Structure 1
Amino acid sequence: MHSCRLSPLQRFLLVFLGAMLLAAGVLLYQVHHFLHTAPEHPGTPLVVRISPGMSFSAIAALLESKGIVVDRTRFALLGRFMNKAGSVRAGEFTLHTGWTPMQVLEELGRGRDILYPLTIPEGLTWWQTADLVQASGLGTRQGFARIVSDRDFLARWHIPGDNAEGYLFPETYLFPRVAITTPGNTPTEQDLAIANHLLAMFREKTKELFPPDMSPEAIRDILTLASLVEKETSRDDERARIAGVYANRLRKNMRLQCDPTIIYGIGPDFDGNLTRKHLRDRSNPYNTYMHPGLPPGPICSPGLASIKAALHPESHTYLYFVARGDGSHAFSRTLREHNQYVRTYQLHR
């Protein structure tokens, strides 16, 4: 019998081949894991803004910083391998940390050539926002209205209450114009995309404001107070002071007596004339002349300045304020002083 002995060169080649096969197996596993694994489960929707002229490598780095992909280098290589690197348009996207890299890439490549602005000003109610969606031609009033009061939609965004009032963040958004073929009040995909985008923007803009352990109900209370501030003043130098007035009244168990809450409770049919009958209407749950504490929920979607004011009310002893007629307010500590300001700035006017 002849013993089979390998030469040193043959042994080296076998070891080298084994190492190469092992490395290839590890690489294939890493590639498979990257392609089929999302950064988080169940994940979070996030708004991402792609600037004009942004390279795909820069886009990959941005997505990694947002936690939407875990490896910028591999995502950039995936985009080039799939021939998608040059097809990403500029604009805002609602992406998700629960998506795989392929899902993210497909969403980025689903863009259209022309985007149209949708501007949501501060202080609009949800039905006024629905009117804007309809007027823009980007969606439908009825479809948007159904979505923002849909229980599954609200649960997905951790919103307590009957609708998304207060969370439809005021901002200018960019959307493609699509053909609306859904009849009646059935929401279209575009209605859902718009609603999701507004909620994702709210989360993006406020993520540094609310502590991670703050409950959805506590956040809604802050938004409720912020919505009162938004409706009472457009002056940044007064927001925290007005928030302080309401905070003082709440501490003293005084009625807030905020006219905009009554108007909100009347709803879209309000004709612009607030009467004594409205002020005495106990059936209106938003009547803060009749009912103590905060109203049942926000009365509009406040801007960032009003949200910050509600989180950090000014510390003072004011309990009243009245409009001067020039956009500013006169603040007072006593009812006697307040009544004097009312005579000066409203009754005489």
Structure 2
Amino acid sequence: MTLTKKKSPLPLLLGILALAIGGGIGGSWFWWQKAIAPVAAETELETAPFTVESGMGGQQIGNKLAEEGLIKSATAWKVWTKLQQQQDNGGGFKAGTYLVSLDESLPDIATKIWNGEIMQTNFTIPEGWSMEQMANYFESLDYFTAEEFLAATREIPYEKYSWLPKDIPHLEGFLYPDTYKISSDRTNDPQAVIDAMLKSFENIALPVYKEANTDYSLQEWVTLASIVEKESVIQDERPLIAGVFTARLEQGMRLESDPTVEYGLGIRQTADRPLTYAQVGTPSPYNTYRNFGLPPTAIAAPGIASLKATLNPESTEYLFFVARYDGTHVFSRTLQEHEAATRRIRNERNARQN
């Protein structure tokens, strides 16, 4: 067998240089070294975003880089592009937004765009956030308006995520809470953000449900888990809170969960401004003080701990719980015990404030 020695790119490079600028090899090499050098020494800027639009050709990219002062020579860019195409079997530049450091050489910048090393940004969705909270958060980041996000959540992408429950009015509960990294040029597209969160639910939460032995439908599971999420503060209490709600459902009792009332009315109670009797008595599909069973949809984005606790609730005789003002709860077996615990907690709070 005859081995073919791989040719060095240097002769090809020198030949291209000579043709490109019509000079001798020595002069061409000096010009090349100067042309590809970083521009940092000639500007006060350190980094700059640079966007490659879909369909832009290699020379268009080079011309734009030169016009924006990010490289010294569009001709040198053309030389690099020809050399890269010879070596990379017809690869190409990738559309997207890139963070260009001005102490990078032309080949460094070109390689970054050739390889698609797109500028990325992070966003974080905490467990227990509702879609409205997400919408306001994205608006505060200047991604898009809150209304644009909420409108997109009402468009259910069954064609991509056929596992989503049928006939749901929106995606509440299925936008998985996590920290995400996405291309910075997609932050103006609410559907791209939603797609990332649905993929995480599909990859993290959905397998847990499929492996479980449960009578809950997917919608019921997520809905109950969202209530557990909103009621839980202390990690160790999640299975017990899930157990209380499970016991109430099994005994045909109303869930009587404050967060469902808050969600239905679009309000948020605080320690100083708890729900009033009038608010608790206000009719709403989400008012679990008035309605039996689960509300029509989730009320927030449950994290994996609440989702798992809902599938594996703690077996308990407790049917009631009331929040202390430190994140924990007092659990009771009877309504009489519960009412006594509620009065005691409120009296202790009032005494501390006086």
1:323 aligns with 2:323: yes
Give, in whole Å, the separation in 2 of the partners of 1:248 and 1:109. 59
1:131-142 equivalences under 5 Å are 131-142=136-147
* Counterpart in the other structure of 2:278: 277
**2:260 match: secondary structure:** helix
Q: CA deviation at 1:228?
A: 0.7
Q: Deviations over 1:242-274 (max 9, x none)?
A: 00000000111111110100000012x657652
CA distance in 1, matches of 2:145, 2:304: 27
Shift of 1:340: 1.8
TM-score by length of 2: 0.61
How far is 1:146 from its partner?
1.2
Aligned length: 240
Does structure 2 retain, via aligned residues, the 8 Å contact 1:222–1:310? yes
**Cross-structure match for 1:224:** 223
- Among 151, 155, 165, the alignment partner of 1:159 is 165
User: Which runs of no fewer than 5 residues in structure 2 stay unpaired?
Assistant: 1-87, 97-112, 350-354
Q: Corresponding residue for 2:151?
A: 146
Partner amino acid, structure 1, of 2:338 = H
Shift of 1:83: 3.3
> Could you tell me how far apart the structure 2 residues matched to 1:119 and 1:266 are?
26
Correspondence list, 1:8-47, <5 A? none
CA contact (8 A) 1:148 1:154 kept: no
Question: CA 1:255–1:114 in 2, change beyond 3 Å: closer, same or farther?
Answer: same
Going from structure 1 to structure 2, the CA distance change for 1:201 and 1:88 (only over 3 Å counts) comes to: farther
Q: TM-score, normalised by structure 1?
A: 0.62
Equivalent positions of 1:1-349 (< 5 A) are 81-83=89-91, 111=116, 113-151=118-156, 153=157, 156-157=160-161, 158-160=164-166, 161-178=168-185, 190-211=189-210, 218-267=217-266, 273=273, 274-282=275-283, 284-349=284-349
Counterpart contact for 2:212–2:311, Cα < 8 Å: no
CA gap 1:324/1:270 in 2 versus in 1, 3 angstroms: closer
Taking the aligned partners of 2:212 and 2:234, their CA distance within structure 1 comes to 31
Q: What is the rounded CA distance, in whole Å, between the counterparts of 2:213 and 2:193 in structure 1? A: 26
Give me the whole-angstrom Cα distance separating, in 1, the residues matched to 2:235 and 2:322: 16
Aligned CA distance change for structure 1 residues 277 and 143 (closer, same or farther; 3 Å): same
Letter in 2 for 1:219: L
Q: What is the SS of the residue equivalent to 2:210?
A: coil
Change (3 A) 1:319 1:270: closer
Identity, in percent, stands at 35
Query: The residue matched to 2:300 in structure 1 has which SS?
Result: coil
Cα distance change of structure 1 residues 241 and 340 upon mapping to structure 2, 3 Å threshold: same
CA–CA separation in structure 2 for the residues paired with 1:110 and 1:142: 36
C-alpha RMSD of matched pairs (Å): 3.0
Distance 1:310 1:294 in 2: 13
| C-alpha distance after superposition, 1:75-115 (max 9, x if no partner) | xxxxx64537x9899xxxxxxxxxxxxxxxxxx98845421
Tell me how far 1:217 sits from its aligned partner.
7.6
SS state at 2:184 partner? coil
Q: Tell me the SS of whatever aligns to 2:322.
A: strand
Structure 1, unmatched stretches of 5+, are 1-79, 90-107, 181-187
**Distance verdict in 2 for CA 1:270–1:111, change over 3 Å:** farther
Contact 2:165 / 2:218 at 8 angstroms: preserved in 1?
Answer: no
Quote the offset at 1:131 in angstroms: 1.3
After superposition, the Cα gap between the structure-2 partners of 1:213 and 1:255, relative to the gap in structure 1 and judged at 3 Å, is closer
Q: 1:235 to 1:114 in 2, by over 3 A?
A: same
Q: Match of 1:185?
A: none
The answer to whether the 8 Å contact 2:262/2:269 transfers is no
